Amino acid sequence: MLIVKEVSKTYNSHVVLKEINLTLKKGVLGVVGPNGSGKSTLLKMIAGLEKPTCGRILFRDKDITKLSANKRVELGIVYTFQIPKPFYRLTVLENVAVGCMVRDKKNAKKRALRICKMMGIEHLADREAKVLSQGELKLLELAKVISTEPEIILLDEPFAALDKENAIIVKEKLMEFKRVGYKMMVTAHRFKILKDVADKFIEVREGRIRSDLDVKS
């Protein structure tokens, strides 16, 4: 279980997030809000890529607020970037293998190949990441995330800059992850984008969680 308790973030006296409280027990939590509302900052703080100004983050009853990002990945919390950040000069297979090494160094490349097949990018395995299209990069990003065998996946606007076709592919993958049992926090601008994926929604507006909505209501 992930608990965010009274977490705030301030940049140069500008308050981005104020006293955020949320809990993720199971399923998919959709985080919506306008540009600059602090959605990405919230996810990055949970991932350990940003430090909260105050507050605590608990995972499996353990305080992970001061834990580094790579240690959180070992615990099972992993983050995907809004704009994909592949390792450009490595091949697709190597990109995925890097994540596999978190759990099992010896069989990393074998597992990486299996994950590439699962994500439908095994035909790109020997290509350098720098030649991939936007849609392929998104799938690679998801493959990297799965390779770490996470418990919680933090997806920062997974549909950003994707055409309709690729957005459908990514959505299908997220539905698969949901079926398999991964817990996820997914950000987007609007409810409509996440309505089929998320079980529950929160809206972040002006640095606060404005509402806690059940998608079915």
Partner 1 sequence: MVKVKEKIELQIPILAILLILPLFTNFYYFWLFTLASIFASYTLSWYLMEKFCGRTSLGHTLPFGLTAYLSAIAYFFNYPLQLLPLVALIVALLSTFIFYITSMLDRVKFVFATFLYSVLLWEIAPFIVLKKDILYGGEEGFSIALIPPNIIYILSSTLLIAVFVFTILLHKSSLGLKMMAVRDDEEAALAIGIDVKRIKLLNSFISSLFTSFAGLIYILHFSHIDPDVFSVENAIFPFIASVFAGNFVTPVLGSYLLIFASKALNTISPQFHLVLYALLLIISPKLRRISNAHS
119/98 Cα distance (integer angstroms): 16
Among 39, 144, 173, 183, binds partner 1 (CB under 8 A): 144
In this complex, which beta carbon is closest to partner 1, that of residue 45 or of residue 209? 45
97 near partner 1, judged by CB under 8 A = yes
Beta partners for residue 29, in sequence order: 185, 200
Q: Which of 63, 67, 60 lies closest to 24, judged by CA?
A: 60
Question: What is the helix (H) or strand (E) element at residue 191, kind and residue range?
Answer: helix 191-194
In this complex, which beta carbon is closest to partner 1, that of residue 37 or of residue 147? 147
Among 60, 88, 117, 195, binds partner 1 (CB under 8 A): 88
27/70 Cα distance (integer angstroms): 24
Close Cβ partners of 87 (under 8 Å, ≥ 6 residues apart): 94, 95, 98, 129
Q: Considering the complex, what minimum distance in angstroms separates the CB of residue 42 from partner 1?
A: 15
108 near partner 1, judged by CB under 8 A = yes
Binding residues among 157-216 for partner 1 as defined by CB under 8 A: none
- C-alpha torsion sign, points 85, 118, 200, 216: positive
Going by DSSP bridges, is the β-strand pair 77-80/54-59 parallel, antiparallel, or unpaired?
unpaired
Reduced to 3 states, what is the DSSP secondary structure of residue 112? helix
Cα angle 42-59-34, degrees, rounded to a multiple of 5: 15
Task: For residue 157, report the phi and psi dihedrals to the nearest 5 degrees.
Answer: 45, 65
The end-to-end CA distance of the chain, in Å, is: 24
Q: Considering the complex, what minimum distance in angstroms separates the CB of residue 190 from partner 1?
A: 26
In this complex, which beta carbon is closest to partner 1, that of residue 137 or of residue 209? 137
99 near partner 1, judged by CB under 8 A = yes
Which segment (27-35, 65-73, 132-140, 177-185) binds partner 1 by CB under 8 A? 65-73
Binding residues among 18-47 for partner 1 as defined by CB under 8 A: 47
In this complex, which beta carbon is closest to partner 1, that of residue 92 or of residue 209? 92
Which segment (77-85, 131-139, 164-172, 188-196) binds partner 1 by CB under 8 A? 77-85
90 near partner 1, judged by CB under 8 A = yes
14 near partner 1, judged by CB under 8 A = no
Which residues of this chain interact with partner 1, rule CB under 8 A? 47, 49, 68-70, 73-74, 78-81, 85-90, 94-95, 97-99, 101-102, 105, 108, 144, 147-148
